[in-house]
Amino acid sequence: MKKVNFKKVLMALTVALTFLFAGMDMAQAQQGSNTLVGGPAVLPATANYANSDLAVQILEAKITELIDQLKQLIPGSPVYNALNRQYEFYLSIKESIESGETVPQSIIDGVLLMMSDNFGVTKQQAIQLRDDALVLLSD
């Protein structure tokens, strides 16, 4: 009888510890709006982002530059596809900002969109896009 109670207590303790550690991970993953749940990383909390108006101007210039470059490339080529991903990414950030989202949240939204089935970028590509947007849109 003591063996059965010991096993039950051990199982309950194991389950409790599992939930405790899983709960801590989930709490950390949900801290702030800058966390990409299931995504490549967290945006730096200390970054100084451009204000929304300036960010839109910067993005419009970048989008124009990408369009000019895309016009000179062969559709479907690896370089074209990479630049087209950047174009779609920056366009989605711009649209998100124009709809009232903050710059950091718009970057997160853009990364999540690019990681969706519609674009299917890899985790590494998503990290690169995120890092490029951080450089472009922070002081």
pLDDT per position as a tens digit, 70-114 = 999 999 999 999 999 999 999 999 999 999 999 999 999 999 999
How would residue 9 be classed by pLDDT, with cut points 50, 70 and 90? low
Read off the pTM: 0.69
Number of domains in the chain: 2
Same structural domain, 21 and 56? no
Q: For all residues of the chain together, what is the average pLDDT? A: 78
Same structural domain, 44 and 22? no
- Average pLDDT of the residues in 65-70: 96
Judged by DSSP in three states, 82 sits in: helix
Query: What pLDDT score does 17 carry?
Result: 43
Same structural domain, 116 and 131? yes
Structural domain range at position 25: 1-30
Same structural domain, 46 and 110? yes
Closest by CA position to 50, among listed 105, 111, 108, 103 = 103
Same structural domain, 50 and 87? yes
Q: Which comes out higher in pLDDT, residue 1 or 126? A: 126
Query: What are the residues whose beta carbons fall under 8 Å from the beta carbon of 45, sequence distance 6 or more?
Result: 32, 34
